[in-house]
Chain A
Amino acid sequence: MAQIKIDNLRKEFGVGDDKVVALQNVNLEIEGDVFVSIVGPSGCGKSTLLNILSGIETPSSGKVEITQDRHDANPGYVFQAARLLPWRTVMDNLLFVQKDPDSEEARARCQKYLDMVHLGDKGDKYPGELSGGMQQRVGIARAFAVEPDVLFMDEPFSHLDAITARSLRRELHEMWAATGKTILFVTHDVGEAVELSNRILVFAKGGKLEDDINVELPFPRDAANEEVAVAKAQVLKKFEDLDLVAT
């Protein structure tokens, strides 16, 4: 079972007059196969938090620890833009991040997750030959194919049209249910957060963790369902109370 511990985390960029505090006083514990959404206005440090957790950035002070049964956890990452190597085929993009890219097992695993995002027959295409939605699905398959203990997702659907985003959200949720892992999902869409997650972390400008909300409704959650609508309204109300809406 994956465990994330964040202890008094602080992150600053730049020096002197250019100094920006991206995160401060963040204390947090996440455990088990939960779907955690991180919401907040843009610039409040959501991406920075994921980047620190995944090792792209280092903290200015404080500590982060991600473990899986006391070992270092295996991470996966889905970015806002797909971030595929344009000069490698879809299959080679998946193999690129595998631990053992030359093995038959790795290839089979990648094929399995390509099938899962309905792109099983596109393995030998180049990313430039795919639409934006398909590229994003390749990005999702790539992250699942490393069979991560913890999966980071940074506004993965925000560039996509509403219909594509909706079907990908559903696919993602099915894959999460089928494979079981800890997901940290950044979004600025409260509705998306309420539909997808067990737990919502609300960040405010200056990188402070303002609220930590548990959403205890059964999955799959239907946007048209009354309880879901009520939960959404409640979270939005909290947003208003915290004065986070104007972004």
Chain B
Amino acid sequence: MTAVTEKVPERPPVKGTEDSGLLRFVKKPIVARLLFPTLVIALWVFVDSLEISRVFPAPDRVLGFMWDELRLETLARTNLYETLGISLLRLFAGFAVSMVVGTAIGLGMGLSKSVDAFFHDWVMAILAMPALVWALFLGLVFGFGSTGPVLATILAGIPFVIINVREGVRNTPRELFDMASAFDVPRNRMTRHLLIPSLMPFMFAAARYGFSVGWKGLVLAEVFASDRGMGWMIKFWYDAHRSFAVVGYAFFFVIFAFFLEKFVFDKLYARAFKWRPAVGAIELVEEEIQESFIDALDPEGAQTLPDRDRLGDN
């Protein structure tokens, strides 16, 4: 037993290799995380100060633009909130359809070989098509309404939903279903406590992809197949040669996406996966080992002698 418990002698700290106060500060995760945008902004200000180009979006102009937009002072025909509202409505509509239809198709493909064979090539074809082609095509067919952008969102996102759900079904834990059927667990209870939870990680992946890829499809479609929305607005400022406005609008969405991630997805994720082992597991393992030792050394159990000997050999 000595070999196991023997501690590696701690090396005395060598002078000069200890982290200085500054380095330790920088290594904190929160500081490290903030360091990146700080550096980007510094670089941005620096490049701006070189005055290479007249249309380079100066940081102060971008901020000024964003501030004006927030206060509803805009030259465009819809203000920030209307624009965001229109795009988000289209995004959520398209996303909802992707999730519902994609989940249904994905379940079918995972469960049945013939359903899989039927949809397989279509899914691959949609996946292979550049979003730009959808945008142009939908613009031609549906004109400047909401139909084109919503369809673009669906077409961009749905293959990812389908593929993730299908993989989820294919990876359902067979041995847990066998366990449930050995105990004659009724089917609806199996669905609720076994099938759905085992699909959850795949549904989350489907939602995240469906959302972010759907967004990209939407913005592109709004450029070519709409006269409203975030994509159209970015195009509007592009046509007006206002690079700071293009960047400003992009930032609005980045900020929105950040909040969505932080306050919706992360919260949902934490709720759905609170069973994932975190802290405390190690403690319990140690407790178990201790219990076993007590059992092993139990004087009434003469049968434990060989094991005690074996432990001594280690």
Contact = CB atoms under 8 A, between A and B. Distances in A.
Interface of A: 51, 54-56, 75-77, 79, 81, 83, 85-89, 92, 96-97, 101, 118, 125-126, 128-131, 133-134, 146, 152, 161-164, 166-167, 170, 222-224
Given A96-B189, A170-B301, A56 B281 contact: no
19 contacts: A51-B178, A55-B181, A56-B182, A75-B184, A76-B183, A85-B176, A87-B200, A88-B197, A88-B275, A96-B180, A97-B180, A126-B275, A126-B277, A130-B281, A161-B292, A162-B310, A163-B296, A166-B295, A166-B296
A129 B281 contact: yes
A31 to B, nearest CB: 22
B295 A134 contact: no
B20 interface: no
A129 B193 contact: no
A134 B284 contact: yes
B53 interface: no
Contact of B302 (A134, A167, A222): A222
Given A51-B178, A223-B306, 17 more contacts: A56-B178, A76-B183, A77-B179, A83-B179, A85-B193, A101-B189, A128-B281, A129-B277, A131-B284, A131-B285, A133-B292, A163-B296, A166-B304, A166-B307, A167-B292, A222-B303, A224-B303
B277 A96 contact: no
Nearest to A54: B182
Contacts of A164: 288, 292
A125 B275 CA distance: 9
A20 to B, nearest CB: 18
B15 interface: no
Nearest to A139: B179
Interface residues of B, number: 39
Contacts of A101: 189
A223 B285 contact: no
Interface string B253-296: 00000000000000000000101110011001101110111011
B260 to A, nearest CB: 25
Among B176, B183, B184, max chain A CB count under 10 A is at B183
Contacts of A161: 292
